[in-house]
Amino acid sequence: MAFPLNRRQLLGAGLAAAIPSAHAFIPVKVPQKWDETVDVLCVGTGFSGLAAAIEAHNAGASVLVIDKMALPGGNSILAAGGFAAPGNDMQKKAGIKDSPELLLADMLRAGGHLNHVECAKVVAYGAYDTYRWATDYLGVKWDRLGFQGGHSVARSCSFMNGTGADIIGPMLTKLSTLKVPVRLRTKLLNFVTDDNGAVIGVEVRANYQFPKEETGETKFIRVKRGVVLATGGFSQNVQMRTMHDPRLTAALDSTNSPAATGEGLQAAQRVGAGTCLMDWIQLGPWTSPDEKGFGVCPKFVEASVGYGLMIDPKTGKRFINETGNRKVRADAILAIGHPAIILISETNMKKHVPMSTVKAGLDNGSIKRFASLEELAQSYGIDPKLLKESVDRWNDAIAKKTDPDFKAKIFDDTEANEGTFFACRLWPRVHYCMGGLTINAKAEVIDTDFNILPGLFAAGEVCGGVHGMVRLGTVSIADCIVYGRVAGKAAANRKA
Amino acid sequence: MAFPLNRRQLLGAGLAAAIPSAHAFIPVKVPQKWDETVDVLCVGTGFSGLAAAIEAHNAGASVLVIDKMALPGGNSILAAGGFAAPGNDMQKKAGIKDSPELLLADMLRAGGHLNHVECAKVVAYGAYDTYRWATDYLGVKWDRLGFQGGHSVARSCSFMNGTGADIIGPMLTKLSTLKVPVRLRTKLLNFVTDDNGAVIGVEVRANYQFPKEETGETKFIRVKRGVVLATGGFSQNVQMRTMHDPRLTAALDSTNSPAATGEGLQAAQRVGAGTCLMDWIQLGPWTSPDEKGFGVCPKFVEASVGYGLMIDPKTGKRFINETGNRKVRADAILAIGHPAIILISETNMKKHVPMSTVKAGLDNGSIKRFASLEELAQSYGIDPKLLKESVDRWNDAIAKKTDPDFKAKIFDDTEANEGTFFACRLWPRVHYCMGGLTINAKAEVIDTDFNILPGLFAAGEVCGGVHGMVRLGTVSIADCIVYGRVAGKAAANRKA
């Protein structure tokens, strides 16, 4: 990616990319013969799809799980945060008082009250029970209690080995024990509906090799009770994301699995599913263009804010509140149109940033060490005089414990930034889709006329509404597993 | 409406209201016999629909215009602002330099760069030509040049008699001259599509009596070239707006025509049309719960900001930058959860607010006069001591020409607020839908798979994308007429 980006790169080629090919909105005909029949089909092997499969099986349904990828786990397996569970054992041990009401209030505040309250309640009030289920029934082990920005209390149970595999693994083991088949390389193409518009099956591509669209063979699976769609977000679909936020062109990478392409959502739309909050797509402001995926810079950045400062290399000046929320910071970096620089003195760094993080960044080249501010300025092409002025002004703010320019939070133990510096470049990545299919408290999908779409259930990031405009860290895992369980039970209990 | 609102009223009953009735997503069958055949059908008699009809006729098509209401003009006839036309005659006379590029830049800045640039360009570059067309071909007369917030220059041509009827009238006259029928009380129910998913006609309810859904008879109109959907926004549809912004419950009125219910948009969705930017719904922060519709308070408010101050009656304190944009102010009032009070001294009022406005407000009871601040405090139930402190603090800010609390703009000629006061209560109303159907530069509707939906065109507020997250005043009229003309020509020229 070359910077500065031109206007076209920044402002979106979304619509220009619309291909005037054949209009695809033609209902799929009911096949003469189905290749297979199940009670409940779960599409996707992330947290939601697997949780739904376990619950659907336990409610007495015959269940099949499919996933288009060659490996299970979807984008969930990349999750790094933890599980927001009010009332969890570690909170009790630490004497931290928490409640579903408090989690709900946090979600609504972060969500700008754009949350579908009915859905947010399902997650807030279901989180503890599902934490117990994960702990006691699946045998998930937790590492420690973490505090995440925007939450009122420390309530996030982090993974024993640091990733979502710590939950996906036990879920797959449980499904294996229950003899529920998980069929990979099987891609959902279309829903099949009856004369009343109800979902009665799916068209899939078996033996599909992602991302080769022409691979595999078409098969039809009859679904007697319900389909649970759990195909995740669309962060990796540039055309879809630019339609709703034209700034999010191919100039931005995504932290997500390459599988997060949104075709499941589109298949649902083709049979009438409604969507909501599609315009709210979360960017991570803390990713570096100098490493791939999520990387180590986010940890470096979140540990540095309130101590170091963020600079626009073009002007040599600060341009945003470094302790502002994800959205505020990401929007500001996009607005300047090129990567920002975050810098922190060695003194502050050593006290507040884990050395393992700094070492990993130095090793992969995303974090750099500079013997002096002048050297840093030269390396990033910043006017050294202007940079010096900005750092002096920030150090002055630190001394006074107040930032007159952007009202950033300055922590009490912050020291003046001077001497040796550590720094990295920052360019946002697409991280999470707050919008998606409209569902109700029972995980039933709502159509564009606001009626229930019979036979279709959805859970997890493919749905919109739970998080409003901003999702809090570690609430997506609660969302995915709670709603996956709701959807699996509801699908199994549906009378077709 | 009783204040304070309860949690449920504020946070949305959107999903709760979803009716679990029959799923309506079943394609309408092609009728055995069509009742009527036209080349181009225009749905809606606002600026877009009528402009489309004129251009479709002039391109050689047989045209029919339908509208569900008993009177023509839709929501357009209520428009009060003007027409943003860069390079217009009044600008030339006044020596004001302007350009499409400058209008586009203003639109993108206000739109937070969430605009579909391709569509915004159609409006910015088409505005002058369409202003000429309205002036020279339709004979529209303009009053004077106006400056609107967010624009770089004065470029808005205001209506001779103050409303959109000044354009709707000449359009209807032109259609009458051209012998293009405008059929009222005819409501679009469904699009009829062929085996390829192309729109080939519509199902309507003839002799429909708004809002009685069961009135009238079903008829089918075959459309040989294209349908232009110009049915406006959905500000009056509480269920639809709460789906995308759950704060906008029935606790909020709308400034719009009661006809702005969004069923045209939903009919398009039922045949696959995609939507974009649906979550961006503009509130007017300047409406009063003490009068209906748009009212006179907006003018009072916009003339008072920068002089008087806005107060939360519960705390007696200011709570937001009074000169902030519409969104900032409306969001802040919604967040406090009850009407705000704006107050201004008689001295400031007399210098800056038109007396006709104040008189109209005093007459309808929305604006009140108080001999003293104490009297004002008592009337609105504000703690008089806290209110006095707030006014003193604001007067101090006026003296220093800087607002330390909210950085509101303070105009140079502002005087201390004391003595006799004028005030009104403020509660936002839903004003404009920035989101809607996804279209391209040719006004073709794009489906949820990002293909062109053959036979369907759309223009005006039923579409999304042109305005990004915030629409500038007087640009909607440019949008509606420019895109109406584009859609009418494109539909007429389509080879079915």
Listed in sequence order, the residues at least 6 apart from B429 whose beta carbon sits closer than 8 Å to its beta carbon are: B252, B253, B254, B255, B283, B284, B287, B294
Structure tokens at A58: 């336990």
Q: How is residue A296 annotated by DSSP?
A: S
CA distance A246 to A281: 11
Taking an 8 Å cut-off on Cβ atoms, the answer to whether B19 and A450 are in contact is yes
Average confidence (pLDDT) over A25-39: 91
Counting Cα atoms < 13 Å in the Cβ hemisphere of A419 gives 10
**Under a CB-based contact definition with an 8 Å cutoff, are residues A440 and A446 in contact?**
yes
Average confidence (pLDDT) over A217-240: 98
Listed in sequence order, the residues at least 6 apart from B250 whose beta carbon sits closer than 8 Å to its beta carbon are: B9, B13, B238
Q: Does residue B16 carry a pLDDT above 50?
A: no
**Region at B315 (left for phi over 0; alpha for psi -120 to 50; beta for the rest):** alpha
More confident residue, B24 or A455: A455
Listed in sequence order, the residues at least 6 apart from B117 whose beta carbon sits closer than 8 Å to its beta carbon are: A11, A12, A246, B108
Q: Look at residue A22 in the predicted model and tell me its pLDDT.
A: 52
Q: Does residue B410 carry a pLDDT above 80?
A: yes
Taking an 8 Å cut-off on Cβ atoms, the answer to whether A116 and B25 are in contact is no
Rounded to the nearest 10 degrees, what angle do helices B100-110 and B117-132 cross at? 130
CA distance A221 to A209: 19
Q: Look at residue B297 in the predicted model and tell me its pLDDT.
A: 95
Q: How many of the other CB atoms lie within 10 Å of CB of B78?
A: 17
Q: Does residue A419 carry a pLDDT above 90?
A: yes
Q: Look at residue A215 in the predicted model and tell me its pLDDT.
A: 96
CA distance A107 to A122: 12
Q: Does residue A327 carry a pLDDT above 90?
A: no
Q: Look at residue A103 in the predicted model and tell me its pLDDT.
A: 98
Residues paired with B281 in a beta bridge:
B433
What is the complex's ipTM, to 2 decimals? 0.91
Q: Does residue A18 carry a pLDDT above 80?
A: no
pLDDT digits (tens, 9 = 90+) for B384-402: 999 999 999 999 999 999 9
Q: How is residue B137 annotated by DSSP?
A: I
Taking an 8 Å cut-off on Cβ atoms, the answer to whether B447 and A114 are in contact is no
pLDDT band at A162 (very low <50, low <70, confident <90, very high): confident
pLDDT digits (tens, 9 = 90+) for B469-484: 999 989 999 999 999 9
Average confidence (pLDDT) over A356-364: 96
Question: Which of A233, A279, A283, A241 lies closest to A260, judged by CA?
Answer: A233
pLDDT band at B123 (very low <50, low <70, confident <90, very high): very high
- Select from A118, A197, A239 the Cβ nearest to the Cβ of B25: A197
Q: How far is A207 from chain B (nearest CA, A)?
A: 24
Q: Does residue B223 carry a pLDDT above 80?
A: yes
Cα A453 to its chain centre, rounded Å, is: 26
Listed in sequence order, the residues at least 6 apart from A470 whose beta carbon sits closer than 8 Å to its beta carbon are: A110, A111, A112, A150, A280, A282, A325, A326, A327, A434
Pairing mode, strands B275-276 and B436-437: antiparallel
Q: How many of the other CB atoms lie within 10 Å of CB of B119?
A: 24
Amino acid at A55: E
Active site residue ranges of B: 326
More confident residue, A317 or B14: A317
Question: Which of B266, B280, B271, B274 lies closest to B232, judged by CA?
Answer: B266
pLDDT band at A80 (very low <50, low <70, confident <90, very high): confident
Q: Look at residue A155 in the predicted model and tell me its pLDDT.
A: 95
Instruction: Give the 3-state secondary structure of residue A47.
Output: helix
Residues in chain A with CB shorter than 8 Å from the CB of B10 are 113
pLDDT digits (tens, 9 = 90+) for B85-105: 999 999 999 999 999 999 999
Does the domain at residues B36-279+431-493 carry the CATH identifier 3.40.50.720?
no
pLDDT digits (tens, 9 = 90+) for B146-172: 888 888 999 999 998 889 999 999 999
CA distance B171 to B187: 21
Q: Look at residue B187 in the predicted model and tell me its pLDDT.
A: 98
Q: Does residue B6 carry a pLDDT above 50?
A: no
Hunting for tokens 């409006």 — which residue is that? Answer: B123
| Closest residue in B to A269 (Cα–Cα) | B448
| E-strand stretches of A154-292 | 156-159, 182-183, 187-193, 199-206, 217-229, 275-276, 281-284
Q: Look at residue B80 in the predicted model and tell me its pLDDT.
A: 84
Among A111-115, A157-161, A343-347, B180-184, whose mean pLDDT is lowest?
A: A157-161
Structure tokens at A415: 């020291």
Listed in sequence order, the residues at least 6 apart from A135 whose beta carbon sits closer than 8 Å to its beta carbon are: A89, A142
pLDDT digits (tens, 9 = 90+) for A164-209: 999 999 999 999 999 999 999 999 999 999 988 999 999 999 999 9
Q: How far is A307 from chain B (nearest CA, A)?
A: 26
CA distance B5 to B79: 30
Question: Which of B423, B418, B425, B424 lies closest to B345, judged by CA?
Answer: B418
Across B424-456, b (16+ Cβ under 10 Å) vs e yields bbbbbbbbbbbbbbbbbebbbbbbbbbbbbbbb
pLDDT band at B27 (very low <50, low <70, confident <90, very high): confident
Average confidence (pLDDT) over B46-59: 98
- Give me chain B's average pLDDT, please: 93
Average confidence (pLDDT) over A123-142: 98
pLDDT digits (tens, 9 = 90+) for B186-198: 999 999 999 889 9
Among A131-145, A462-476, B316-330, B386-400, whose mean pLDDT is lowest?
A: B316-330
Active site residue ranges of A: 326
Listed in sequence order, the residues at least 6 apart from A35 whose beta carbon sits closer than 8 Å to its beta carbon are: A219, A220, A221
Residue-wise DSSP of B320-337: S-TTS-HHHHHHHHHHHT
- Give me chain A's average pLDDT, please: 93
pLDDT band at B25 (very low <50, low <70, confident <90, very high): low
Q: How far is A263 from chain B (nearest CA, A)?
A: 9
Q: Look at residue B228 in the predicted model and tell me its pLDDT.
A: 98
CA distance A209 to B3: 59
| Interface-testing mutation among B247, B402, B449, with chain A (most A C-beta atoms within 10 A) | B449
Q: What kind of architecture, by CATH, is found in domain A286-427? A: Alpha-Beta Complex (3.90)
Q: Look at residue A24 in the predicted model and tell me its pLDDT.
A: 57
- Domain boundary assignment for chain B: 36-279+431-493, 286-427
Among A199-203, A327-331, B310-314, B444-448, whose mean pLDDT is lowest?
A: A327-331
pLDDT digits (tens, 9 = 90+) for B252-282: 999 999 999 999 999 999 999 999 999 999 9
Cα B258 to its chain centre, rounded Å, is: 13
**Under a CB-based contact definition with an 8 Å cutoff, are residues A43 and A107 in contact?**
no
Residues in chain B with CB shorter than 8 Å from the CB of A240 are 450
Average confidence (pLDDT) over A391-402: 96
Average confidence (pLDDT) over A48-64: 98
Hunting for tokens 């999702």 — which residue is that? Answer: A471
pLDDT band at A26 (very low <50, low <70, confident <90, very high): confident
Q: Look at residue A325 in the predicted model and tell me its pLDDT.
A: 82
Q: Look at residue B496 in the predicted model and tell me its pLDDT.
A: 66
Q: Look at residue B147 in the predicted model and tell me its pLDDT.
A: 83
Q: Look at residue B482 in the predicted model and tell me its pLDDT.
A: 98
Three-state SS string over A90-104 comes to HHHHHCCCCCHHHHH
Hunting for tokens 């986010």 — which residue is that? Answer: A298
Average confidence (pLDDT) over A368-385: 97
Residues in chain B with CB shorter than 8 Å from the CB of A246 are 113-117, 468
Residues paired with B209 in a beta bridge:
B212
Listed in sequence order, the residues at least 6 apart from B114 whose beta carbon sits closer than 8 Å to its beta carbon are: A245, A246, A247, A279, B277, B280, B468, B469
